[in-house]
Structure 1
Amino acid sequence: MPDDVFIAINGDALQAKSKVYIGRALARKSAGDLDEYQLWASLALELLGKAALARKHPSLVVDPIHWQSMFVAAGINVTTDVKTITAKTLFERLAHLVPRFDKTVQKFCQDIAERRNAELHSADLPFRTMRLDAWEARYWHACDTILHQMGSSLEQWLGAADAKAPRQLLDEAAKALAAAVKLRVEAAREQFEALKRAERERLTAEAELREPQHQMGIFKGSHDEIWSESCPACKCRAFLTGEQTGEDISEERDEHAIWEVVDREFCDTLTDFSEMSPDDRDGPED
């Protein structure tokens, strides 16, 4: 990947600009301007998608028939007039890059981009006719899908990971994450149910043979505990790891007991074997 790529198609710069735009979107929502909220949100989504492509390679976001832009993508800055791909092409390419960016997510992204174009380039007012509950949850799901591929998260993108973030932003981030996770589970359930019965039964049987102590190597980052759980999407055996965040002596204990009960709090992560690739499901070697 070229190091001297022009800022217009630099992945980090595109992501930074998308964060500015989603900040403006939430500010308009707070002010009660839901039309402009959706407008800024649609712009932030397109920039975020281009950031994901540009991080793979800048050539993925430039117009392939504009040779000057192709040169810039290769690190040869022959022009400042860089031509980028359309929203339609962007979302088509993301479907090949991001595993969870399925046809449903792609169609939603295309629809919001088309409403944005109609809002900006015609006398139509498509955003005014869209209820908030008709698009917002799916929007957060789409953003979460792209951010996951980039190794980021909604909290980081929205700025809620900052300890000094205002309460209103933290609340918005919590709502966005809840909506995204709900739709992520629904999408995983549909994907699992679309498999042939024999494949579903095989995956379920394989998952049941797994034991927590043998799964430590498949989780990224640090964790203090691992335990089994039922996947909310496919009901297969899955595993949670947790990093301990707190510990208290439980008040619910027998005063004559010679032991004490300790309540431990964890921040957890779920891994579901039915969604993993065959290589990942093999787990670490003993």
Structure 2
Amino acid sequence: MSVPYDHEALWLKAKLFLNKAMDDEEVRSFDERALWASLSLELLAKAALARQSPLLIAVPSEDGTNVLIALGLIAGKARFESVAAKTLYSRCEKAFKPFTKAEADKITYARNEYLHGAAAGFTEIPESGWWPRYWAQAVILVAACEREIDDLVGEVRAHIVRAHLEQNKKNVEHRTEMLLERARQRRAQFEAGSLPAKVAAEWQPGQPMTISLAHSQDETCPACGDRGTVEGDTVSDTDVQYERVGENDYDAIVTLTVDSEYFSCEHCGLALDDYQVLTEAGIADTFEVDGDSSDIEHEGEYGND
């Protein structure tokens, strides 16, 4: 019997569920296929993380049982518990760019509503629009497992997945151009004095649009060319250089590399909050900001008290 945190076993189960999800509509309804697909996505996330370390999917407990099981130090009848889907997706977002937790959470939320709520259908998104968004996330986890789409769904069905991925790419391109064009139009209407009252009540040039993430820097707006702001919470790298300021005294110069998560421009009202759209609009994946000594990781010291 396979151990519950074995990434190969998790991969095989994800593959089994995806086979059910890709059955013909005559065999299974879209709601049922989407349900199997959502379960497979969670298993792919577990497999991708467990491949790096089983500790990444173990629920922490006071007695450390799960961690000890994950490390192979406890066997027998001990029960292993894995973390919730939202935790899996949060870790995948940090570890496997450009996986997006928000998109994956929508899939899990729809699944839970379908299973436990009063909703009669899996989602209000049409099937033609749902699968491209699903595969845009799933393919990242497949790559994180060091596998190919063919390994997951087989050669016969692989072209279906690639068609969905191509459609998602087009959808991202269209959505990005729509957002940029709308911002340009909004700015032009303001300058011409023809901005609709409803829009004017929601946006005026100079009105702050930032969302107060931990780090930010100025960035040229891809819509109007003026100065906008890119923000992010996740620090992906910390660089520390030491500058001598005295015989035995050094100052630490800290530079943080931050993942771009949100862009806004108060001059035209543009707001981009999706990783794929940010990239399509030409916003760099990361930006650098100055840090301080509190951003430097220090090894903990253990006392004897």
* Residue 118 in structure 1 maps to residue 113 in structure 2: yes
Q: What TM-score comes out, normalization by structure 1 length?
A: 0.57
Report the Cα offset of residue 136 of structure 1. Answer: 1.3
Gaps of 5+ in 2: 180-216, 222-278, 288-305
* Residue 108 in structure 1 maps to residue 103 in structure 2: yes
Q: Of residues 75, 96, 114 in structure 1, which corresponds to 2:72?
A: 75
Q: What TM-score comes out, normalization by structure 2 length?
A: 0.53
Q: Distance in 1 between matches of 2:280 and 2:96?
A: 20
For the pair shown, which has the larger CA radius of gyration, 1 or 2?
Answer: 2
CA contact 1:6–1:72 (8 Å) conserved in 2: no
Matched ranges for 1:20-99 at <5 A: 20-27=16-23, 29=25, 31=27, 33-65=29-61, 67-78=64-75, 79-99=77-97
Note closer, same or farther for the CA distance 1:188–1:51 as it changes in structure 2 (3 Å cut): farther
- Larger relative strand fraction: 2
Q: What's the CA shift string for 1:51-108, capped at 9, x where partnerless?
A: 111011001111112632211111123345211110111111111111212xxx2111
Q: Distance in 2 between matches of 1:155 and 1:185?
A: 26
Note closer, same or farther for the CA distance 1:30–1:13 as it changes in structure 2 (3 Å cut): farther
CA-based RMSD of the aligned residues comes to: 3.7
Q: What's the CA shift string for 1:95-150, capped at 9, x where partnerless?
A: 1111212xxx2111101111112222234334054421342111000011222233
Note closer, same or farther for the CA distance 1:131–1:100 as it changes in structure 2 (3 Å cut): same
* Residue 196 in structure 1 maps to residue 194 in structure 2: no
CA contact 1:141–1:179 (8 Å) conserved in 2: no
Q: Distance in 2 between matches of 1:155 and 1:176?
A: 14
What does residue 250 of structure 1 align with? Answer: none
Report the Cα offset of residue 275 of structure 1. Answer: 6.8
CA contact 1:154–1:177 (8 Å) conserved in 2: no
What does residue 143 of structure 2 align with? Answer: 148
> What count of residue pairs does the alignment treat as equivalent?
193
What secondary structure does 1:24 align onto?
helix
Matched ranges for 1:200-239 at <5 A: 233=280
Q: Distance in 1 between matches of 2:150 and 2:168?
A: 12
* Residue 136 in structure 1 maps to residue 136 in structure 2: no
Report the Cα offset of residue 25 of structure 1. Answer: 0.5
Gaps of 5+ in 1: 199-231, 236-273, 278-286
What secondary structure does 1:135 align onto?
helix
User: For residue 72 of structure 1, what is the amino acid of its counterpart?
Assistant: I
CA contact 1:23–1:158 (8 Å) conserved in 2: yes
What does residue 173 of structure 1 align with? Answer: 161
What does residue 122 of structure 2 align with? Answer: 127
Q: Distance in 2 between matches of 1:195 and 1:139?
A: 33
What secondary structure does 1:96 align onto?
helix
Q: Of residues 154, 163, 171 in structure 2, which corresponds to 1:159?
A: 154
Report the Cα offset of residue 196 of structure 1. Answer: 2.9
Report the Cα offset of residue 195 of structure 1. Answer: 8.1
Q: What's the CA shift string for 1:225-255, capped at 9, x where partnerless?
A: xxxxxxx9579xxxxxxxxxxxxxxxxxxxx
CA contact 1:61–1:85 (8 Å) conserved in 2: yes
User: For residue 143 of structure 1, what is the amino acid of its counterpart?
Assistant: A
CA contact 1:138–1:183 (8 Å) conserved in 2: no
Q: Distance in 1 between matches of 2:123 and 2:173?
A: 30
Report percent identity of matched pairs: 25
- Larger relative helix fraction: 1
CA contact 2:135–2:161 (8 Å) conserved in 1: no
